[in-house]
Amino acid sequence: MIIAVHDPRREVGRAVSSALTSTGVARVLVICHNTPVEGIAGRLGRLVDDSRVELHSLTDGTRSPAGPFNHGLDLATGRFTAVMGSDDEVAIGAIDGWLGAAARYSADVVVPRLRYAGGRRVPTPPTRPCRRGRLDGVRDRLAYRTAPLGLVSRARFGGLRFTPSLTTGEDLRYSVRLWFGGARVAGAARAAEYLIHDDAVRVTFARRTLAEEFAAVFGVVSDEWVTSLPMQAREALAVKLWRISVFGAVHYRAGAWTTEDREVLAELCEALMRLAPGAVEVLSRADEALIDAIADPAVAAEIVDARSRARRRFVSPAALLSARPSRAGAREAPVRFAAATWLASRG
C-alpha cells in the first residue's frame, strides 16, 4: 500500500492503521513528499514501530502527487500494489477482501466500491447491476473511475506509472491503461470499501488555467495507444471526458472566462471530436448545444454559461433526449446512463 503525504497535519495515521487491519498487506509505504519525515513519523506515533510500515522521503519541489506515488511503485515488491490518499482509509479487512476477489476471478485489477465517510456511496463506475467479476471497460463504464484505487498487478502493470509533473489528472493515463488494455478486472465485495474523507482542502480543488487543467486530457487523447483503441473504447472514453472533464470545467468557470481559456477549450473540443466523432451523438441535446457554443471561441461567454446551466437541468427533455434519436438506447445515452448511476448509488 502506497500512501503519499505532503503535510503532517493530515490524518495519515488513520490511513495507515486502516491498511494494517488486513493481514495480506506486506508493506505500507508512506512517501513523505516535500515534507520532513520526522513530522510524519510524529503524526504516526506508535504505528512507526510496526514492521510493515516504512517511511520514505521524496523532495522534488513539485505539487504533483505523481512523484510520490511513482516513488512508491519503484519501491514496491509485492504481487499487487495499491495507492491511497493520506486523508482516506479503507474498511476493516478491506484489502484482504480485494485479494480474495483477485484470487476468485484471477484478476489483474480489483476495483473496490467507494463511499464518503459520511455514508454516501460514490456511484462511479456505474457498472452493470450486480456485476462483480469480469468487468469490462466499455460495458461497465470503467472510465468513470479515474483514480486507480484498489489492487493492480505488478506482473501485468509493473512498468506503468502516473504522469509526472501534473498537478491534476496524473492518474488519467494510468487508469485508461487498466480499463482498456485487456486486463482481467474484478469488483470487490461491499464490505471491502474505500472510504473518502474531506478533512482538508485538497490540491485537486485548486483553481488553475484550463491549459493546466486539461493537460492530462490533451495527453491522453493524443496518445497513440489510445487513438489505436477500438472505436467502442474511444467513444466510451470520450463521452466520459465530455461529461466530467469538459462540462465540469465549463460549469465552474461561469462568469470568469478568459480569451486563453476559450481558445484552449475549443482546441480540446476539436481533439475529442477527432478521437471519437460519434460520442456527441450519444450525449444529450443540451450537451450538443453546449458543445456547439464552446467549440467556437467567438460565441459570447453569456451564451456558453446559459447553455451550461441548461444542460444541468437533468430532468428536462433536452437533457434526457439523445442528440441523435437512433442512439437513444446506447449504453452511454442520457436515460440509460442516469438509470445506471442511480442504481450504483443505491448499492
User: What one-character DSSP code corresponds to residue 121?
Assistant: E
Looking at the fold, whether 155 and 274 belong to one and the same domain comes out as no
CA 44 from chain centre, in angstroms, equals 27
Q: For 264-277, what is each residue's pLDDT tens digit?
A: 999 999 999 999 99
Q: Same domain, yes or no, for 25 and 125?
A: yes
Same structural domain, 52 and 78 = yes
Last residue of a domain, one of 171, 203, 235: 203
The per-residue pLDDT for 106 is 97
- Domain co-membership, 317 together with 241: yes
pLDDT at 202 over 70: no
pLDDT at 346 (0 to 100): 84
Same domain, 236 and 123: no
pLDDT tens per residue across span 154-187: 999 999 999 999 989 999 999 999 999 999 999 9
Shared domain check, 223 and 192: no
- Quick one: 146 and 244 in the same domain? no
Decide if pLDDT at 203 tops 70. no
Comparing 92 with 131, the larger pLDDT belongs to: 92
User: Looking at the structure, do residues 32 and 153 belong to the same domain, yes or no?
Assistant: yes
SS3 325: helix
**C-alpha to C-alpha distance for 250 and 244, rounded to whole angstroms:** 10
Each residue's pLDDT tens digit, 95-145: 999 999 999 999 999 999 999 988 899 999 999 987 888 999 999 999 999
Domain match, 85 and 129 both: yes
Among residues 151, 168, 203, the one where a domain terminates is 203
200: confidence class by pLDDT, cuts 50, 70, 90: very low
Taking only the tens place, the pLDDT of each residue in 27-52 is 999 999 999 999 999 999 999 999 99
CATH for 100: 3.90.550.10
Same domain, 30 and 144: yes
Residues 6+ apart with CB under 8 A from 300: none
| pLDDT, tens only, 236-271 | 999 999 999 999 999 999 999 999 999 999 999 999
Instruction: Give pLDDT, residue 190.
Output: 83
What percent of the chain stands above pLDDT 90? 91
The pLDDT mean for the chain works out to 94
Question: What phi and psi, each to the nearest 5 degrees, are found at residue 204?
Answer: -55, -30
Domain ends where: 203, 237, 262? 203
Same domain flag for 232 and 167: no
Give the model's confidence band at 198: pLDDT under 50 very low, under 70 low, under 90 confident, else very high. confident
Instruction: Single out the residue of 304, 203, 220 nearest to residue 258, CA to CA.
Output: 304
Peptide bond into 36 cis (omega under 30): no
Instruction: Please give the pLDDT value at position 118.
Output: 83
102 and 36: one domain?
Answer: yes
Total number of domains in the chain? 2
- Give yes or no for a contact between 35 and 3, defined as CB atoms under 8 angstroms apart: no
Residue 204 has pLDDT above 60, yes or no: no
- The set of cell numbers assigned to 133 is 467479476
At residue 131, the pLDDT reads 82
User: Residue 121 is which amino acid?
Assistant: R
Q: Which domain holds residue 193?
A: 2-203
pLDDT in tens, 207-228: 789 999 999 999 999 999 999 9
Given a cut of 60, whether residue 15 has pLDDT beyond it is: yes
